[in-house]
Amino acid sequence: MSLEALFVAFVCRKNRFNLILAVVAYWFFIGMPLSWISISNYEQFINSHKITILVKQLTNAIIYANIAAVLMLVPQVKNLLGSSNIKETISLKNKSAHFISTLLISVGVLFFFFTLNQNIKNSSEKAIHTHNLKHQELYHQVSLLIKSNVESLNEFSYLLSEIWEDEKRGSALSHFNSRHPVFGTMLIADINGDVTNVSAPALNQEMFTQQTSLNVADRDYFNKVTNNDEIYVSTGFTGRGLGSDLIVAISKSIPGRGSKDTNYLGIVEGTIILESLEPANHAFNNITYGVDAILIDQNNQVLMASDNLALEPLEKINYQKNTQVLKSEGLVNLVINDEVKELEFYYPTVTTFQWGWKLITLQDESVFVKMIEKSLMYFAVSILLVIFISYILAKSISYSWSYYLHKLNLSIKHGVTFDEGVSEFEDNDQLPEEVKNFYQEIKSSRQQILKMNQDLQNTIAERTEKLQKANDQLNIVARLDELTGLENRRVFNDCMNELWIECQRELAPFSMIIIDIDHFKKLNDSYGHPVGDRVLMFLGKELTQFKSTDVKCLARIGGEEFCMLIKTCSHQFVKDFAEQIRTHIESLQIQIGEGKVIKVTISCGVATIDATKYTSSRLYQLADNALYEAKHSGRNQTKAYEET
């Protein structure tokens, strides 16, 4: 600071009005090079911060110099710093130039300083909000992936308790695994830990043809659920006996139906190979700029991580607050296998899943540094431009007509009352030519701007209206199946969840009818896909006739399958309603060519549940099972299940 004071005093010893330019010159040619050399000798200043520090020093110096220049305009301050015995003669041109330039620079500094703070604040808030939002999205995605399979496995355990002594237990396991392919392998073990069924065909054959046995009594996924109703989600481990990939196990005890001695029959377990979870892996590597994620288990071992972090599976991960290099609140270093990564800084967000895993998302600290650096660079460049432009303008306009310029400036500030305050500029022979031309240019520009503004408002209004219409049309298209015009699978899923909640609240029965066209593949193979599409459109049109106030949703959910969701109707009514639809379709003929007609039949699966006891997934499973039974009982019939 003393070196800066000596330099400024030397430069301004005769002309104090160059104070700000003197400060800028000092920092460009002396201050910033010296500061760069100084901070380069300290390791705690990491490279990403050095430019930020220099730019901040320059901006601080400009602000302080501008404050000093403004204070020098106050007579009391000037008299306090000067000598009353010294008489100064300053030309009007120089005095007005100093006054005008100081004001212009002050306005520019205040504006850009406010803009700087707002930019940093808004950018930081946006980055934090985006980080938190993406964290929640990733958390819900992983949670949904695991919880859906946990719920399915829980329901399957009760099904196994019903068929424990039945020969179909193995086929039920294989069927369940085929419907939930996220489980790489599944097994059923008895109360002693002996594996009785495995979903993997190769292992199943080896166990029973070679009369070998597999016991899992030493595994956590067996011991954690034995003799209790808890569902266990394991830590990460490499498979033993069933592979060597990084896996996690989900297990649930199978409840018994007899005496207290047989309360639990065994366990059912499914293993998830983490590398096979493509959507989750993709999500971890495509969160947002500067944000990476780590999924760790109950032992803080890595289960999944963004590729940018270069973490290995099952590495021990933790983090600690940074207390040495930077003082930023909430900034942490990663600790990998007890080794602290001292030159990597992150802002963490952590959420713990109900089964004990943790999701950690890390906002790279360099993102905020670059954000601040960019804002500071913009501020410094803007202020420098303001300084030089202000001095040039001040010199060019500081003449005897400064009065008119001041009047014109006031008129400009009045905005909409511009025309009322410029009477002195109209037909005034005393007005300098430069001011007159300047006034005419401003007046003309203002009129052009007003016209452009009106045209722009009209264009925006017109385009906004068109965009709204296009958005409305897109919303309609996004909800409908393109071929049949019925609601699509996405709308069906949303409607099913909403109706399930309503039925829970109103204590009303919740029913579903799944309709499938019999021999549709054979029809496609025989007549071609255009005829198949015609049959689908025909069926969609016919089903629309049955949509009433009771049918809350009629959707095509895939291929040749259609579905109806019905609320507050009895199971018998829904079953009769489905049979009415089936007989109606059976009685129709579809013309597929000149003089050529075909008949199609449908199979219907009907299910009704008590929404306070069972989930919407269970309703879909029951209806699907009923449809499966109708198909395997000869087709062209209706089967129904009810759980209340």
Domain boundary among 276, 307, 342: 276
Q: Which CATH number belongs to the domain containing residue 174 in this structure?
A: 3.30.450.20
Bridge pairing between strands 195-198 and 183-190: antiparallel
Q: pLDDT of 343-367, one tens digit each?
A: 678 889 999 999 899 999 988 877 7
Cα of 192 vs its chain's centroid, Å? 46
Same domain, 513 and 569: yes
The owner of tokens 């003669």 is 89
Beta carbons of 352 and 30 less than 8 angstroms apart: no
- Distance, in Å, from the CA atom of 601 to the CA atom of 616, rounded to the nearest integer, reads 28
Same domain, 172 and 93: no
Instruction: Classify residue 521: in a domain, yes or no.
Output: yes
Beta carbons of 540 and 491 less than 8 angstroms apart: no
Confidence band of 280 (pLDDT split at 50, 70, 90): confident
Q: pLDDT of 305-340, one tens digit each?
A: 988 888 888 899 888 876 655 455 677 888 888 888
Bridge pairing between strands 602-610 and 638-643: parallel
Same domain, 406 and 421: no
Look at the chain and count its residues. Answer: 644
Q: pLDDT of 459-469, one tens digit each?
A: 888 888 888 88
Same domain, 86 and 116: yes
List Cβ neighbours of 351 (8 Å cut-off, separation of 6 or more).
135, 136, 139, 358, 359
- Distance, in Å, from the CA atom of 63 to the CA atom of 116, rounded to the nearest integer, reads 13
- Distance, in Å, from the CA atom of 70 to the CA atom of 80, rounded to the nearest integer, reads 15
Q: What is the mean pLDDT of residues 20-48?
A: 64
Least confident among 370-374, 409-413, 482-486, 518-522: 409-413
- Distance, in Å, from the CA atom of 510 to the CA atom of 527, rounded to the nearest integer, reads 38
Same domain, 449 and 534: no
Same domain, 118 and 170: no
pLDDT of residue 84: 47
Domain boundary among 259, 276, 293: 276
Q: Which range of residues forms the domain containing residue 169?
A: 149-276
For the ranges 55-64, 449-458, 599-608, the maximum mean pLDDT occurs at: 599-608
Domain boundary among 413, 434, 466: 413
Same domain, 120 and 79: yes
Cα of 419 vs its chain's centroid, Å? 51
Same domain, 106 and 164: no
pLDDT of residue 612: 92
Number of domains in the chain: 4
Same domain, 504 and 394: no
pLDDT of residue 533: 92
Bridge pairing between strands 561-567 and 302-305: unpaired
- Distance, in Å, from the CA atom of 20 to the CA atom of 28, rounded to the nearest integer, reads 12
SS3 sequence, 348-361?
EEEEECCCCCEEEE
Q: pLDDT of 560-612, one tens digit each?
A: 999 999 998 999 999 999 999 999 999 999 988 787 889 999 999 999 999 99
Instruction: Classify residue 324: in a domain, yes or no.
Output: no
Same domain, 552 and 609: yes
Least confident among 274-288, 300-314, 354-368, 400-414: 400-414
Same domain, 420 and 531: no
Same domain, 468 and 499: no
Least confident among 52-66, 288-302, 483-497, 565-579: 52-66
Q: pLDDT of 213-245, one tens digit each?
A: 788 888 888 999 988 888 999 998 886 555 667
Helices (H), 570-643: 571-586, 616-632
Least confident among 149-163, 383-397, 586-600: 383-397
H or E stretch covering 267: strand 264-273
Instruction: Classify residue 306: in a domain, yes or no.
Output: no
The owner of tokens 């030397």 is 10
pLDDT of residue 331: 78
Local structure of 553: helix, strand or coil: strand
Q: Which CATH number belongs to the domain containing residue 561 in this structure?
A: 3.30.70.270
pLDDT at 375 over 90: no
- Distance, in Å, from the CA atom of 2 to the CA atom of 546, rounded to the nearest integer, reads 90
